[in-house]
Amino acid sequence: MSDGFSRVAGPPEPRANSELIGHDEAENIFLDSWGKGRLAHAWLITGPAGIGKATLAFRLARRLLEKNAPQGDPRSVYRRVAAGSHADLFTLERPVDSQTGTRRGEITVEVARKVAPFLHLTPAEAGWRVVVIDGAEKMNRNAANAILKIVEEPPANTVILMTCEGRHKVLPTIRSRCQILALRPLDASLMSSWLCRHRPDLDPKQAMALAQISAGSPGNALRLVDAEGLGIYEEMLSLFANLPCLDTAAAHEFADRISSSRGEDSFRMFLELFASWLVRLIRVIATDDHSVTGLSEEDVLVNRLAARREGLDRWLNLWEKAVRLTAQTESFLLDRKQVLLSLFDCLEGDDPMNCNPNRF
Amino acid sequence: MKLTIEREVLLKSLAHVQSVVERRTTIPILSNVRLDASDGRLRLTATDMNLTVAESVCASVLQAGATTTPAHMLHEIVRKLPEGGEVAFEPTEQVDRIVLRCGDGIFSLSCLPVEDFPADFNAELAHRFTIPAADLRRLIDKTRFAISHEETRYYLNGIYLHPVIEPKPLLRSVATDGHRLAQVDVSLPNGADSIPGVIVHRKAVTEIRKLIDDFDGEIACSLSDTMARLCFDSVNVTTKLIDGKFPDYGRVIPAANDKIMEFDGHGFMNVVDRVSTLATDRTRSVKLSLAPGELEVSAISPESGSASEKLPVLYDSDAMQIGFNARYLLELAGQLDGERISLAMNDAASPSIMRDPDDNHALFVLMPMRV
Amino acid sequence: MTQLALALDHRPAMGEADFLVASSNRDAVLWLDRWPDWPGAGLAIHGPAGCGKSHLAQVWRRRSGARSINATTIASEEPATLLSGCNGLAVEDADRGVDERALLHLYNWTAEQGGHLLLTGRSPPARWGIALPDLRSRLAAMPAVAVTQPDDALFSAVLIKHFSDRQLRVGDSVVHYINSHCERSFEAAGRIVAALDGAALAEKRNITVPLARRVLAEIAAS
């Protein structure tokens, strides 16, 4: 039975991922209360993107569906949950964008309205009915209203598992009805050994470096490996090595390459890496904590930039701008190369006002 | 999987199962029909995850196997194949493709693995009985028009099927949408006296009714609190039930309506139909004015004018006037088989009962319109 | 002509165990069930005092996460503040002394934010004597649903529910007696049951018709 991992496809979809790392405590809280007969009917799984919230949600769903069910053979449950064809599981999530193949946009009321009819029918296997809402904060207002009543008063034999990037991003009335499982980003060494298991060709030092730069998300780490993100990251560091001086020709060439249409993944990956580097830089400056990341080039660069005592504002502005441009690039079809150059522009030079976060 | 099968046999079975499949589903495997070939038979299964229809037909199986392929596409292809043809299914090197051959035509169809297909619910259900197909048709035909479409009262979006013990053993179906209610009985089959009352949702009712249309034998039913299954003629239907409590409908069926009017059904329907043509308000309401021996049906519309027509009836109670939605009247009257119809009323704001005076086992309640 | 409905008053298994439906409030309940599927941002519920408008508003608030506010205090804050952290407001007694500009402002703001307003009052909005034309037109476009005095069946059911909430077993005759001798309002029902409970407890008696007769007389006298 495939565990959902493939050398070609990158990280498996959460619903098809049979492996969960680093969240045993959260899983045990759920299993414990279930074992004691005090299972809450609504759960909210929170934490940053990509650390395994949806994977946990589907895993808990499978556990529920395997119990008390004549067709509860775990393999069969796994297959059907992975294929979206389990009659007692309803999943509410953002639609898949046909162009990029990833999930984007909002959860609209049209799909949210299908939860109630699902719960109006009996469970097919005489056990639990499970609703997974992946990305509760992505529900638009009407969608959230449509499911509010269900979360407040779920019918018998029903469990609702919601994931959300921050507990304050869902309506208080929804949040107050849920038991919260707050997941933390994975510890780097745990991720590093996990990475080595799945990509045995990786050198342990590289694995550690990848673990450091993937912000506690195994999904990110795997994507970085498969799209040669580490290479892009190292290039980025050497491009920035002499900041505040920036070799313009090299910057243009890099921007050209990264933004070319063939490198679709590379572009977005670069923006993520850039943003996460900024976050680490900001943290170092703010906390004065110069821990080692495992990539000596990054440490040197970061320490040097931190030592310049330029103040956080400049970096915060730049980070804000990077995040905004990342979000906008897809929706507004911005020119990718210009986006990159504009970001590099802000890096260059001494003038902290050089970077206007609100200007492209 | 390798087999041959007569085109007509395959087509008939595909027609049976494919209407269950949802046309616009985002989950690919749910658009597919499951094909299982073994031991001289081909089994076709289709589902929308709430309702599953499976049929087993004769085939010449050269190599057992199973796969799934898009249901509507397969149905269309087979429909367009020449009559009398023989259809062959053959595997290909690619695991996600299967080939259909018929005469000179070759069709390569995409497939998805059977393991991804929703499960067959073949768990034993606690309550079992058999019922003549004609009885089941009656239970459905005379109540389904009254099924509610309103989603908030989801427990009314189906037919309530339950046993009745007093005054005599009956199997009863009831449907209501809040304006009218239909209650129909057939004799209670052996073994059905302790079945739980179940509410069967509208789509399941529709599909079941289609499937039993030309079957005339006994249908094997089994029920639990959460599922219902019907088996007949190598067809198998399994469905979830509506998870709710049907209201205490007995309380809204008046027991003492003493203003009883009896009339010729066809005549009445024609008059109502004619007179209501004029009523252009959305609900096409008509007023019934009763006097001993006579009924006047009338309608008024500010734009079009007025219409009225009289009809001789058997009635010897107090004069009264009562308004009804004409469409409801016609629909109800159309359910009654006999020539004569009886309408028992209380007053202009209370429920009335329409029935065939010779049939105590079909009863229709209709709320009037306030004039 | 309006189509009348059968008295099928059973609430679905899913929720609202504490709300009883009858012909006097069915339309309002149906509208609240439909939320957020309202034609616009607002709904008005009107009816005499004590017929359950506040209770309906409370049910809606619990379901929608909206807050409650009295009409006279609308003008005291900006709509953004009034609506912060929730997506709707129940404005009670909107027919008495409301600041028209403030209400218009609030309505527009709420509509823009995709939120909802529930207005309650003793009469339909058309009869509130609103002078401001823009507000008048918004109110005119809003669905307005009437709630009437509870009928016998509903009132009895409410009494029974209050008794059972307090785990009191009470005979039909008591319910019938109270029903025929007391002010037909939800508040009254609650008050009477509370008084009876107190009296029965204090005097270590069961709740009987004679006790009910006495307690009702005492309430009437005070």
In the predicted structure, residue A307 carries a pLDDT above the cut 80: no
Distance of CA B158 to the CA centre of its chain: 9
Sorting pLDDT into bands at 50, 70 and 90, what band is C184?
confident
Q: Are residues A141 and A35 in the same domain?
A: yes
In the predicted structure, residue A69 carries a pLDDT above the cut 80: no
The CATH superfamily holding the domain B127-247 is DNA Polymerase III, subunit A, domain 2 (3.10.150.10)
B154 contacts chain A (CB < 8 A): yes
Q: Are residues A168 and A40 in the same domain?
A: yes
With b meaning 16 or more CB within 10 Å and e meaning fewer, what string describes B319-335? Answer: ebebbbbbebbbbbbeb
Residues of A in contact with C36 (CB under 8 A): 109, 142, 145-146
Residue of B20, B48, B49 best to disrupt the A interface, most CBs of A under 10 A: B49
Q: Are residues C140 and C156 in the same domain?
A: no
Q: In terms of CA atoms, which chain A residue is nearest residue B245? A: A120
Res A72: pLDDT: 66
Q: Are residues A129 and A234 in the same domain?
A: no
Q: Are residues C97 and C43 in the same domain?
A: yes
Q: Are residues A56 and A161 in the same domain?
A: yes
Average pLDDT estimate for C51-75 = 82
The pair of structure tokens assigned to A221 is: 């780490």
Q: Are residues C43 and C132 in the same domain?
A: yes
Q: Is the dihedral of CA A13, A19, A23, A27 positive or negative?
A: positive
Among the partner residues C5, C10, C12, nearest to B179 by beta-carbon distance: C5
C36 contacts chain A (CB < 8 A): yes
Q: In terms of CA atoms, which chain C residue is nearest residue B285? A: C1
Q: Are residues A177 and A233 in the same domain?
A: no
Residue A209 within a domain: no
Average pLDDT estimate for A275-288 = 81
Contact between B127 and B195 under an 8 Å Cβ cutoff? The reply is yes
Of A147, A182, A217, the residue at which a domain comes to its end is A182
Q: Do C5 and B248 touch (CB under 8 A)?
A: no
CB contact set of C146 (below 8 Å; sequence gap of 6+) = C27, C28, C45, C46, C47, C124
Q: Do C115 and A141 touch (CB under 8 A)?
A: yes
Residues of C in contact with A152 (CB under 8 A): 15, 62-63
SS (H, E, C) chain A: CCCCCECCCECCCHHHCCCCCCCHHHHHHHHHHHHCCCCCCEEEEECCCCCCHHHHHHHHHHHHHHCCCCCCCHHHHHHHHHHCCCCCEEEECCCECCCCCCECCCECHHHHCCHHHHHCECCCCCCCEEEEEECHHHECHHHHHHHHHHHHCCCCCEEEEEEECCHHHCCHHHHCCCEEEECCCCCHHHHHHHHHHHCCCCCHHHHHHHHHHCCCCHHHHHHHHHCCHHHHHHHHHHHHCCCCCCCHHHHHHHHHHHHCHHHHHHHHHHHHHHHHHHHHHHHHHHHCCCCCCCCHHHHHHHHHHHHCCCCHHHHHHHHHHHHHHHHHHHHHCCCHHHHHHHHHHHHCCCCHHHCCCCCC
Q: How many residues does chain A have?
A: 360
Q: Are residues C118 and C189 in the same domain?
A: no
Q: Which CATH number fits the domain that encloses residue A328?
A: 1.20.272
- More confident position, B333 or A323: B333
Of C113, C146, C179, the residue at which a domain comes to its end is C146
Residue C18 within a domain: no
Residue C3 within a domain: no
> Mind listing the pLDDT tens digit for each residue in B286-298?
999 999 999 999 9
- Count of domains forming chain A: 2
Residue C120 within a domain: yes
Q: Are residues A67 and A134 in the same domain?
A: yes
Q: Are residues C161 and C138 in the same domain?
A: no
Residue A46 within a domain: yes
Sorting pLDDT into bands at 50, 70 and 90, what band is A263?
low
In the predicted structure, residue A6 carries a pLDDT above the cut 50: no
**Which of A347, A334, A332 is closest to A277 using CA atoms?**
A347
Burial class from Cβ neighbours inside 10 Å (0-12, 13-18, 19+) for residue C204 reads exposed
Of C114, C146, C178, the residue at which a domain comes to its end is C146
- Per CB distance under 8 Å, which residues of A are interface residues toward C? 109, 119-120, 141-142, 145-146, 148-149, 152-153, 155-156, 171-174
Q: Are residues C168 and C107 in the same domain?
A: no
The pair of structure tokens assigned to B152 is: 């908030």
Q: Are residues C212 and C193 in the same domain?
A: yes
Q: Do B119 and A119 touch (CB under 8 A)?
A: no
Res A358: pLDDT: 58
Q: Are residues A20 and A145 in the same domain?
A: yes
Res C21: pLDDT: 60
Residue A48 and residue A46: Cα distance in Å, rounded? 7
Q: Are residues A172 and A35 in the same domain?
A: yes
Q: Which CATH number fits the domain that encloses residue C170?
A: 1.10.8.60
Domain hosting residue A341, numbered range: 227-354
The count of CB pairs under 8 A between chains A and C is 37
Sorting pLDDT into bands at 50, 70 and 90, what band is C18?
very low
Sorting pLDDT into bands at 50, 70 and 90, what band is A351?
low
Residue C19 within a domain: no
Average pLDDT estimate for A100-115 = 83
Residue A145 within a domain: yes
The mean predicted confidence, pLDDT, of chain B is: 93
Q: Are residues C105 and C208 in the same domain?
A: no
% of chain C residues with pLDDT over 90: 16
- More confident position, A284 or A70: A284
Q: Are residues C48 and C136 in the same domain?
A: yes
Q: Which of A164-168, A322-326, B143-147, C2-6 has the largest mean confidence? A: B143-147
CA of A146, closest CA in chain C: separation in Å? 7
The C-alpha torsion from A127 through A133 and A134 to A136, rounded to 10°, is: -150
Res A164: pLDDT: 95
Res A7: pLDDT: 43
Q: Do B243 and A70 touch (CB under 8 A)?
A: no
Q: Do C63 and A148 touch (CB under 8 A)?
A: yes
Contact between B180 and B357 under an 8 Å Cβ cutoff? The reply is no
Among the partner residues A70, A116, A117, nearest to B123 by beta-carbon distance: A70
Average pLDDT estimate for A74-100 = 89
Residue C178 and residue C180: Cα distance in Å, rounded? 5
What residue has token string 């994507």?
A223
% of chain C residues with pLDDT over 70: 89
In chain B, where does the domain assigned CATH 3.10.150.10 lie?
2-116, 127-247, 253-366
Residue C8 within a domain: no
Average pLDDT estimate for B221-236 = 94
Sorting pLDDT into bands at 50, 70 and 90, what band is A330?
low
- Pairing, β B352-355 against β B170-176: unpaired
Residue C170 within a domain: yes
Among the partner residues C13, C35, C63, nearest to A152 by beta-carbon distance: C63
Phi-psi region for residue A140, left (φ > 0), alpha (ψ -120 to 50) or beta?
beta
Q: In terms of CA atoms, which chain B residue is nearest residue C30? A: B152
> Mind listing the pLDDT tens digit for each residue in C170-181?
777 888 889 888
Fold annotation for B2-116:
DNA Polymerase III; Chain A, domain 2 (3.10.150)
Residue A199 within a domain: no
Of the given ranges (A91-100, B250-259, B263-272, B355-364), which has the lowest mean pLDDT?
A91-100
Q: Are residues A241 and A156 in the same domain?
A: no
* Amino acid, res. A100: T
Residue A134 within a domain: yes
The CATH superfamily holding the domain B253-366 is DNA Polymerase III, subunit A, domain 2 (3.10.150.10)
Of the given ranges (A41-45, A199-203, B107-111), which has the lowest mean pLDDT?
A199-203
Contact between B276 and B299 under an 8 Å Cβ cutoff? The reply is yes
Q: Are residues C37 and C90 in the same domain?
A: yes
Domain hosting residue C180, numbered range: 152-221
The mean predicted confidence, pLDDT, of chain A is: 82
What is the ipTM metric for this complex? 0.88
Res A349: pLDDT: 62
Residue B249 and residue A301: Cα distance in Å, rounded? 78
In the predicted structure, residue C76 carries a pLDDT above the cut 90: no
In the predicted structure, residue A278 carries a pLDDT above the cut 90: no
Residue A298 and residue B316: Cα distance in Å, rounded? 101
Residue C113 within a domain: yes
- Pairing, β B320-325 against β B285-291: antiparallel
Helices (H), B32-171: 71-80, 133-141
Q: Are residues C53 and C137 in the same domain?
A: yes
In the predicted structure, residue C17 carries a pLDDT above the cut 90: no
Res C160: pLDDT: 79
Helices (H), chain B: 7-18, 71-80, 133-141, 202-211, 265-277, 326-335
**Which of A353, A330, A327, A357 is closest to A342 using CA atoms?**
A357
Res A265: pLDDT: 72
In the predicted structure, residue B279 carries a pLDDT above the cut 90: no
What is the strand order of the sheet C88-92 is part of?
Answer: C67-70, C88-92, C116-121, C42-46, C144-146
**Which of A177, B26, A112, A135 is closest to C37 using CA atoms?**
A112
- Count of domains forming chain C: 2
Q: Are residues C157 and C110 in the same domain?
A: no
